[in-house]
Chains A and B, each alone.
Chain A
């Protein structure tokens, strides 16, 4: 589990709960450090010639996707979230995929080409 548990209504258990949150704080700091390092890496890799511009774009987007994954999983607590939120995001993913698919449809428009 990546998220601190819900707060117990029992004050006696709160001490232990606070300790759990404290353990997560270290994780947030480490993830922040990794994200800063990955930002430097993105900049450095953009000055490396990977053979073609397409290859450079692919490398940069892979690093960006890794960073976004970390933000979503750890900072936005998606690594361990309730099922309803995953469902909402599943539909969001489907709709955004359809949106990008429309872009490619437009690109293959036979009328103007």
Chain B
């Protein structure tokens, strides 16, 4: 049986069916991401001063991924326009470019950004022990300048077995530049370029630590919301790439040959989904990477 109204408009709605379908789906997606963003706002507003980290994510890489998603939004709309102009070859290339952008985005996220975080360590110091680690935190300097205090020492964990083994009494951490030279005014605000941990190693006694761990979702509400929102967003990118891949395969050329408008409409609705995924990222990027 032929599915009705894939090309022509349904008389009562004035739209072809998939168009109204994708907008209803996107409405539900707005509520899904809306819930997560409202959780982000709630957790962030409630975070005590100094407990919402800044500058832990790689800004140039985040900027690159934002540019890649924007470029893919342009190529998918050009792919649709090419079909409308009955230029299948141009459509094929634009679609390939869109798929490539999606794959690059996911590769950067999953093969570079996330693993880098899983290897990064942070230890929140107990309030009564802050003075003991002043040379790594620089809170007197921050107080003079009216900036929020630091409570966490971050870097590369030299003795990873210390994390699990209760017999090891201290963490050995190759310090991030901000903790290696905390009173340097250039450390008062996050850097644009990522700076790897230094050679300076600090010994942090476990009894002085309120909580410690790698930069995984259980590190803090910041990383919990970061991994949840970027993870769900990444799943959407993957879904979009799979749909685009199907529409790029020769099987879709048969649809085009039967009725070019049918394929154009399919590209339009999947493109609407893709623009929505781009739209979510436009908010995710500043909220997690920059602010």
Q: For the complex, is B3 an interface residue (Cβ under 8 Å from A)?
A: no
Residues 1-54 of A at the B interface (beta carbon under 8 Å):
4, 7, 14, 17-18, 21-22, 24-25, 28-29, 31-32, 35-36, 39-40, 42-43, 46-47, 49, 53
Which residues of B sit under 8 angstroms from A53, Cβ to Cβ? 291
From B85, B86, B285, residue with most partner A Cβ within 10 Å? B85
Residues of A within 8 A of B291 (CB): 46, 53, 56-57, 60
Cα of A18 to Cα of B261 in the assembled complex, Å:
13
A107-B45 contact in complex given A7-B261, A28-B77, A32-B71, C-beta closer than 8 Å: yes
| Interface of chain B, main secondary structure | helix
Q: Is the interface of A mostly helix, strand, loop or mixed?
A: helix
Q: Which of A24, A36, A56, A84 contacts B70 (CB 8 A)?
A: A36
Does the CB pair A91–B27 fall under 8 Å?
yes
Stretch from B162-170, B198-206, B271-279 contacting the other chain: B271-279
Which of B1-43 touch A at CB < 8 Å? 13-15, 19-20, 23-24, 27, 30-31, 34-35, 38-39, 41-42
Our count of residue pairs bridging A and B at CB distance below 8 angstroms stands at 127
The 10 closest A-B pairs by CB, nearest first: A32-B74, A46-B290, A92-B27, A103-B38, A60-B286, A96-B34, A18-B85, A35-B70, A75-B275, A21-B84
Besides A22-B81, A36-B67, A92-B27, 18 other CB < 8 A contacts?
A18-B84, A21-B84, A22-B85, A25-B78, A32-B70, A32-B74, A36-B70, A42-B290, A60-B290, A71-B279, A75-B73, A76-B272, A83-B14, A84-B13, A92-B31, A96-B30, A99-B35, A103-B41
